[in-house]
Amino acid sequence: MIIVTGATGQLGRQIVEHLLTRVPADQVGVSVRDPQKPRARDFADRGVRVRRGSFADAASLAHAFEGASQVLVISADKMGEECVDLHRTAIGAAVAAGARRILYTSQMGADGASHFQACRDHAATEAILRDSGVPHTALRNGFYAASAVNFLDRALPNGEIVLPADGPVAWTAHADLAEATAAVLADEGRFEGPTPPLTASSALTFDDIAVLAAELTGRTFTRTTAPEGAFRDRLVDHGVPAVYADQVLGIFAAARAGEFSVTDPTLARLLGREPAGLRDVLRDALRARTSAA
């Protein structure tokens, strides 16, 4: 049985949906924190095995991972040692369950010396996978395009994109990464160890994004470089905890260092088509916001 953790989240839900087009539902299990969530119940109604599992509760994972042939560990929404400890628990539970392969949603730029804490956490988790003694795959996902959309959201009212200095980023759609992950799960052993970067075909800066936003909306967008200290203070003033404000600055520092600039054809090969570009993602997001207004 293929077990997917975090299956009610943005990425996990889409992975399961794609997986169900490739393997029978009775060969898919999901580990979720709340089996009563509507998305979890929908999977159960379609024949997927749904069990409670929390990375903070090893006993729950033993039950959720029972009978696993493969386990996909979707990275936790934490950072630092807490995040790595949660991943260590999940990987240990997958080993104890007898999984033949453990997969993990890592990130391009995963490196212990990265400027971005999440990439350092991914590197630490990949080390745990290597030491697990079980065949494994680290899916080096491109930087999520949803993050670019979130940054742009703040500029929509006045057209002013005010962010720290950045660098080119291979913004990549959740939907494409989910589809590719399902393809890898359905073809066990396709990758051993870290994959090549799973990215869209171009890397864009926020100068480029300003141009795209103007083209898509017919409005003027300007890109202004904000001093890092002032930007951090503004985030904190708007209620962002200081530790998370520092992590946001880490994204821009990593981008300036070129950690997210590489593009690679592997994702396109897995999909059998060209991945969505950031223009497509922004267009769909803007349409959704217009419809909701």
Q: Which residue has the tokens 């990758």?
A: 191
Q: Which band of pLDDT confidence, cut at 50, 70 and 90, is reported for residue 290?
A: low
pLDDT in tens, 35-71: 999 999 999 999 999 999 999 999 999 999 999 999 9
The three-class DSSP label of residue 262 is coil
Q: What is this structure's pTM?
A: 0.95
pLDDT tens, residue by residue, 174-202: 999 999 999 999 999 889 999 999 999 99
Output the six-digit token pair for 233: 């203070």
Q: What is the DSSP string of 163-196?
A: E-----B--B-HHHHHHHHHHHHHSTTS--EEPS
- Enumerate domains of the chain plus CATH numbers: 2-140+174-194 (3.40.50.720)
Dist CA 47 CA 42 (whole Å) = 9
Q: According to the model, what pLDDT value does residue 287 have?
A: 84
In the chain, % of residues over pLDDT 70? 99
157-178 per-position pLDDT tens digit: 999 999 999 999 999 999 999 9
Per-residue confidence (pLDDT) for residue 200, from 0 to 100: 97
Judge whether residue 285 has pLDDT over 80.
yes
- Is residue 290 within 8 A of residue 218, CB to CB? The reply is no
- 98 in the Ramachandran plot: left (φ > 0), alpha (ψ -120 to 50) or beta? left
11-46 core/surface letters (b: 16 or more CB in 10 A; e: else):
bbbbbbbbbbeeeebebbbbbbbebeeebbeebbee
β 160-163/136-141 pair status: unpaired
